[in-house]
Amino acid sequence: MDKSKLTIEEMAVFCKRKGFVYANSEIYGGIAGFYDFGHLGVELKNNIKKEWWKTFVQERDDVVGIDGSIITHPMVWKASGHVDGFTDILVDCRKCGSRFRGDQLIQDKLKIETHGMQLEEISKILKEKKLRCAKCGSDLGEPKRFNLMFNTNVGPVQTSSSAVFLRPETAQVIFANFKLVQENARLKLPFGIAQIGKAFRNEISPRDFLFRMREFEQMEIEYFVHPDKQEECNFIDEVLDYELNVYSADMQKNDKAMEKITIKQCLNKKIIKTRWHAYWLALMHKWFVEFGANAEHFRIRQHVKDELSHYALDTWDLEYEFPFGWKELQGLSNRTDFDLKKHMEHSKSDLTIFDEETKKKIVPHVICEPSQGVERAFLVFLFDAYSYDKKRDNVVLKLHPKLAPIKVGIFPLVSNKADLVKKARDVYDEMKKEWACTFDLSGSIGRRYARADETGIYATVTIDFESLEDESVTIRSRDTTEQVRVKISELKDVLKKYMDGEKLGKLGKKVE
Amino acid sequence: MDKSKLTIEEMAVFCKRKGFVYANSEIYGGIAGFYDFGHLGVELKNNIKKEWWKTFVQERDDVVGIDGSIITHPMVWKASGHVDGFTDILVDCRKCGSRFRGDQLIQDKLKIETHGMQLEEISKILKEKKLRCAKCGSDLGEPKRFNLMFNTNVGPVQTSSSAVFLRPETAQVIFANFKLVQENARLKLPFGIAQIGKAFRNEISPRDFLFRMREFEQMEIEYFVHPDKQEECNFIDEVLDYELNVYSADMQKNDKAMEKITIKQCLNKKIIKTRWHAYWLALMHKWFVEFGANAEHFRIRQHVKDELSHYALDTWDLEYEFPFGWKELQGLSNRTDFDLKKHMEHSKSDLTIFDEETKKKIVPHVICEPSQGVERAFLVFLFDAYSYDKKRDNVVLKLHPKLAPIKVGIFPLVSNKADLVKKARDVYDEMKKEWACTFDLSGSIGRRYARADETGIYATVTIDFESLEDESVTIRSRDTTEQVRVKISELKDVLKKYMDGEKLGKLGKKVE
């Protein structure tokens, strides 16, 4: 058995045991599809969101953010098509009442691909293949559409006019605010509007731990371009030589394997239609790799014709190879001007932009909407960080230092020497101003190292008897167990450099 | 007219005009009590949350965080008392159907204090004073209790067993996870568990812009102590000399004015009962002041007997003087062991902690729960930062540098000299790695300064013709308009020091 490879169920156990994730309201038996993030989980999740925002909003001058509300005017969802079309196919058992998603039932039982399968086809397959209840084996009822939006009522009386929805995606809140944001932030095409926030989907059968939840968080950019300038991507040079696993609709149709090629090749061979689309796909892929994920576990996969959403001209998913198969991390659609036009139509508001060149009013196109589930990113980083070190006979969680929930552990060598503990605490008090730190004095130093490694603490600093004499401490690397000795006065600087990627061995005197 | 003082309505206009806050789904007419944060608002809100988390979680070793889900098991709210008791008094007009909160109607019409008024008393006053509909003047119906929790259904079929609530507060999610967090984070009493996240209340009449919303965000700590050691607050020395405006239940009862006294005096005179309560009140007050709020606009006010919640032994509110009066920012309750005991009773789970000293199992007491609405903090910082500068004839938003949405503006002096613009952009590209920056080349430099001041940009950097020759730039202070000249190579260091509180005049060569 490869102890470094966890199933999704084992990952859930690990996350609970170490304080990353709990089932919501576990003391009351939990509630399917809802999870709470524990003391380490909240930090990892916040770090993911922070670094994403820094990369895609703060460091870019063509993207600004917003933070819209979860309960949104129902007309937003009428206009967007969600009220009528945001459905899954529900089948229930005539006998035990268990409910299933039609496509998932087919996928699980027949092991065939169901991307984009509609009601009629699902109904046909269920009947032809005589599929039965996955729980009790009885007959299934007629499949029907089920809307995935949660609804509630605003105000003291429940009437149809007080009915509202919890947003099932963050995108529409961006479209509804499009004009105000564009004007106030004085944005000129091309530009993006980003949002991080919760979304809710009343999934028929939530599954695979954090992968398919009913309450989740999205990190999303809607990127708008001039309708006549969809090919002018001024950043494309940055990614032309970037290489990734590509799985086009053609390859899928012709039963070919995915190919590792560059963005340049994708464009030259017209595998990816627009430069902007290629640019954002590469950028999102790169972001994961930069923060420690393994590029080999990713591919970009084009939607086949049947699975394209009602609003999309072309969609590519960024996929990751989970223990339960290749799954979507992000759907990057070319949404065209579908949404803005729908909102113009339903709101009678003018959402156009004045084009100074042609003196015309134009409706921008969403050339791409990189939309990432925070919890899926959370899983990716955990799976790729989780490793088992044979020599240490211990789990080591090799999270990128920027993502690690706790960066530094401060350990007094022994716990029963007051001056040593005091010295360690002084060091701790200094370091925690800079980073999330932990102070641990219980158990042997080896036990403390092991505990730190398991939760991804990037560096541990041990204060020993010598420290009291020479004001120096030992820094130990989580990833290599390498140790160096540095002066306390230099500790902050050294740790900073180490976290910025310098080799620990070069930052102090090696300890043998 | 004092142009520096805005009403709440004027603040809403300012927030919309500058890109801080919009009514949710404004293009569809909005929806009362729901707001979206624009490109500057999202940054200010994130900064507030980040600094709060840094102060109260990261820099403390006795507090850890969690991030629980919004939709929570309904038993959580049954146990906590919310299903039965989380109500406001609703009165409606028999003729036009308008709905009012009974206590607010009394407060607005009769200008009397209604803290903690119950159904019977409200009903009596409404009748005795013959109050009528605030809208059409007709008769009012019988007042009744109205539960403020939003509900929805989980899963494909709406039955009573699928009914769930959107959390009306973050506190209960902490209690439900109490034991898991305590064990996994290996916490020893006294300790706190913190959470930042959305909460939802179906307010009968949301009002005062961001002050009373239906969807809002809380930053909360539940602080647990040993039941027998409620007086042992090891941090109390840190705040004994801290001075603040105090308005006790006694002062209120005897129609006395609030007094400016120290925490020490509060404790000596037994105005505040427990040290922990005093400690957290001071700390929260201090946090606001440290991030730029004006201490004179705050007071702590004790709940009078009638307004105490069902779970609370003693409650103090941290209040702020808004344009519409003194209002609650935080309620700091001593919740005793009420919640943990209720959850033990309803869940049959053991939420006790083993006391190594007495070898007994104990139920910790929540000595204090500092619970701050993010949007109320947002308003406080905006009101106290908003000022009108006569000399400049312009609004200057003097937000603390840590809170300012954009820290640095980079301005090329003119926009039609390619090499100058390029140099400015190079500077911008460097600075934005460190801080949220903006690059602005449209309009006169004076116009750009004015625009920057209005949105709180802490420092502006101008690149001029001289910069091309001597590699130096001009930094201008938002607050004083003072300007200094520094080398580009030193710019990052100088800006860092300036943001950390050093005087700009001492960091470079003064420009006259």
Report the residue from B38, B215, B351 with minimal CB separation from A71.
B215
As a whole number of angstroms, the distance between CA B122 and CA B126 comes to 6
Q: Helix (H, G, I), strand (E, B), or coil: what is residue A199?
A: strand
Q: Which residues of B touch A179 (CB under 8 A)?
A: 27
pLDDT at B427: 98
**Residue A312: its pLDDT value, please?**
65
Report how far residue A175's alpha carbon sits from residue A80's, in angstroms, rounded to the nearest whole number: 10
CB A246 within 8 A of CB A261: yes
* pLDDT attached to residue A338: 94
Across the interface, whether the CB atoms of A31 and B71 are under 8 A apart is answered yes
Question: In this complex, do A71 and B31 lie within 8 Å of one another by their Cβ atoms?
Answer: yes
Query: Which chain B residues are within 8 Å of A37, Cβ to Cβ?
Result: 66-68
Q: pLDDT for A13-68, tens place per residue?
A: 999 999 999 999 999 999 999 999 999 999 999 999 999 999 999 999 999 999 99
pLDDT of residue B16: 98
Cβ–Cβ gap A26/B198 under 8 Å:
no
Q: What per-residue confidence (pLDDT) applies to B288?
A: 98
Q: Work out the minimum CA distance from B432 to partner chain A, whole angstroms.
A: 6
What are the strands of the beta sheet with A87-92, ordered from one edge?
Answer: A99-101, A87-92, A144-147
What's the mean pLDDT when you consider all of chain B? 94
Query: Which helix (H) or strand (E) is A388 found in, with range?
Result: strand A386-389
Instruction: Closest CB to B24: pick one of A68, A166, A184.
Output: A68
Task: Considering only residues B305 and B52, tell me which one the structure prediction assigns the higher pLDDT.
Answer: B52
Find, in chain A, the residue whose alpha carbon is nearest to that of B435: A58
Does residue A361 register a pLDDT over 80? yes
Q: Can you name the CATH fold of B406-510?
A: Rossmann fold (3.40.50)
CB contact under 8 A, B64 and A156: no
**Which residue's structure tokens are 């134009």?**
A362
**CATH of B87-147 given 3.30.40.230, 3.90.1720.10, 3.30.565.10, 3.60.15.10:** 3.30.40.230
Least CB–CB distance from A181: residue in B39, B43, B438: B39
CA A385, A388, A394: angle at the middle one, nearest 5?
A: 115
| pLDDT at residue B494 greater than cutoff 80 | yes
Q: Determine the 3-state secondary structure of B510 from DSSP.
A: strand
Instruction: Tell me if A432 and B58 make a contact (CB, 8 A cut-off).
Output: yes
Residues of B in contact with A32 (CB under 8 A): 154
Beta carbons of B433 and A59 less than 8 Å apart = yes
How far lies B39's CA from each of A190, A192, B278, B455, in Å? Answer: 17, 11, 38, 11
Q: Does the beta-carbon distance from A204 to B156 stay under 8 Å? A: yes
Chain B interface disruption, residue of A48, A53, A69, A213, most B CBs within 10 A: A69
Cα angle, residue B202 at apex, residues B198 and B207 outer, rounded to 5°: 90
Bigger pLDDT: B236 vs B107: B236
In three-state secondary structure terms, A344 is: helix
A173 to chain B: which residues are within 8 Å by CB? 24, 36
Q: pLDDT grade, residue B160 (50/70/90)?
A: low
Cα separation of the two ends of chain B? 33
CB spacing of A439 vs B29 below 8 angstroms: no
Specify the pLDDT at position A399: 98
Q: What beta strand segments (E) does B84-210 contain?
A: 87-92, 99-101, 144-147, 151-153, 163-166, 191-200
Q: Locate the chain B residue with the closest alpha carbon to A146.
A: B156
Interface probe for A, chosen from B28, B235, B346 (most Cβ of A below 10 Å), is: B28
- pLDDT band, very low/low/confident/very high, at A311 (cuts 50, 70, 90): low
Cβ of B42 within 8 Å of Cβ of A346? The answer is: no
pLDDT for B497: 98
Angle A201-A158-B91 from CA coordinates, rounded to 5°: 135
Residue B305 pLDDT: 77
pLDDT at A265: 97
Among B34, B67, B92, B428, most A C-beta atoms within 10 A, so best to mutate, is B67
Instruction: Identify whether the C-beta of residue A219 lies closer than 8 Å to the C-beta of residue A52.
Output: yes
Asked if residues B463 and B412 have their Cβ atoms less than 8 Å apart, the reply is: yes
Chain A positions touching B343 (Cβ under 8 A) are 27
Chain B residue numbers touching A432 (CB-CB < 8 A): 58-59, 61
User: What confidence score (pLDDT) does residue B273 get?
Assistant: 87
- pLDDT at residue A412, rounded to an integer: 97
Q: How far apart are CA B369 and CA B234, in angstroms?
A: 17
A366/A171 Cα distance (integer angstroms): 11
Which among A16, A17, A65 has the least Cβ separation from residue B39? Answer: A65
Shortest Cα distance, chain A CAs vs residue B194, angstroms: 9
Segment B453-468 shows an average pLDDT of: 97
Cβ distance A71 to B214 less than 8 Å, yes or no, reads yes
pLDDT tens digits, B363-396: 999 998 999 999 999 999 999 999 999 999 999 9
Give B35 to chain A, closest Cα distance, Å.
Answer: 6
Distance from CA of B461 to the nearest CA of A (A): 16
- Confidence class for position A331, pLDDT limits 50, 70, 90: confident
The structure tokens 């729908």 sit at A342
CB contact under 8 A, A39 and B66: yes
Over residues A234-280, the pLDDT tens digits come to 999 999 999 999 999 999 999 999 999 999 999 999 999 889 999 99
Q: Which residues contact A216 (CB under 8 A, 6 or more apart)?
A: A198, A199, A200, A201, A210, A373, A374, A375
Residue A160, pLDDT above cutoff 80: no
In whole angstroms, give the CA distance from residue A165 to residue A339: 18
With b for 16 or more beta-carbon neighbours within 10 A and e for fewer, the A52-73 pattern comes to bbebbbbebbebbbbbbbbbbb
Q: What is the pLDDT of residues B463-474, one digit of tens each?
A: 999 999 999 999
In this prediction, residue B348 carries a pLDDT of 97
Highest mean pLDDT among A116-120, A148-152, B157-161, B306-310: A148-152
**pLDDT on residue A373:** 96
Residues of A in contact with B347 (CB under 8 A): 27-28
C-alpha separations of B196 from A36, A198, A216 in Å: 12, 13, 16
More confident residue, B159 or B488: B488
Query: What residue segments make up the domains of chain B, in order of their start?
Result: 3-86+148-382, 87-147, 406-510
pLDDT at A1: 58
Confidence of residue A385 (pLDDT cuts 50, 70, 90): very high
Give the distance between the most distant pair of CA atoms in chain A. 81
Give the whole-angstrom CA distance, residue A36 versus residue B56.
Answer: 20
Which residues of chain B lie closer than 8 angstroms to A67, CB-CB?
36-37, 41-42, 45-46
CA-nearest of A290, A490, A511 to A384 is: A290
pLDDT given for residue A267 in this prediction: 96
Cα separation of A19 and A397, whole Å? 13
Could you please state the CATH topology (level 3) that the domain comprising A3-86+148-382 is classified under. Answer: BirA Bifunctional Protein; domain 2 (3.30.930)
What is chain B's alpha carbon radius of gyration, rounded to the nearest angstrom? 26
User: Which among A283, A437, A450 has a CA at the least distance from the CA of A370?
Assistant: A283
Q: What is the pLDDT of residues B269-303, one digit of tens each?
A: 999 988 999 999 999 999 999 999 999 999 999 99
Q: By three-state DSSP, how is residue B370 classified? A: coil
Q: What is the pLDDT of residue B4?
A: 79
pLDDT at site A75: 95
- Asked if the model's pLDDT at residue B310 lies above 90, the reply is no
Q: What is the pLDDT of residue B327?
A: 95
Give B304's pLDDT tier (boundaries 50, 70, 90). Answer: confident
By Cβ distance, the residue of A38, A152, A198 closest to B184 is A38
- Is residue B190 pLDDT above 90, yes or no? yes
Are A107 and A88 in contact, with CB atoms under 8 Å apart?
no
Give the predicted TM-score (pTM) of the model: 0.95
Chain B residues whose CB is inside 8 A of the A411 CB are none
Q: Which of A369-373, B104-108, B408-412 has the highest mean predicted lDDT (pLDDT)?
A: B408-412
Cβ(B43)–Cβ(B173) under 8 Å? Answer: no
Phi, psi angles (nearest 5°) of residue B343: -70, -30
pLDDT over threshold 70, residue B504: yes
pLDDT at position B309 is 67
- Interchain pair A177, B26: CB under 8 A: yes
Residues in chain B with CB shorter than 8 Å from the CB of A153 are: 150, 202
Rounded to two decimals, the ipTM of the complex is 0.95
What percent of chain B stands above pLDDT 70? 98
Of B17, B69, B146, the CB nearest to A36: B69
Q: Please give, rounded to a whole number of angstroms, the shortest distance from the CA of A268 to a CA of chain B.
A: 31
Contacts of A24 in chain B (CB under 8 A): 68-69, 71-73, 173, 176
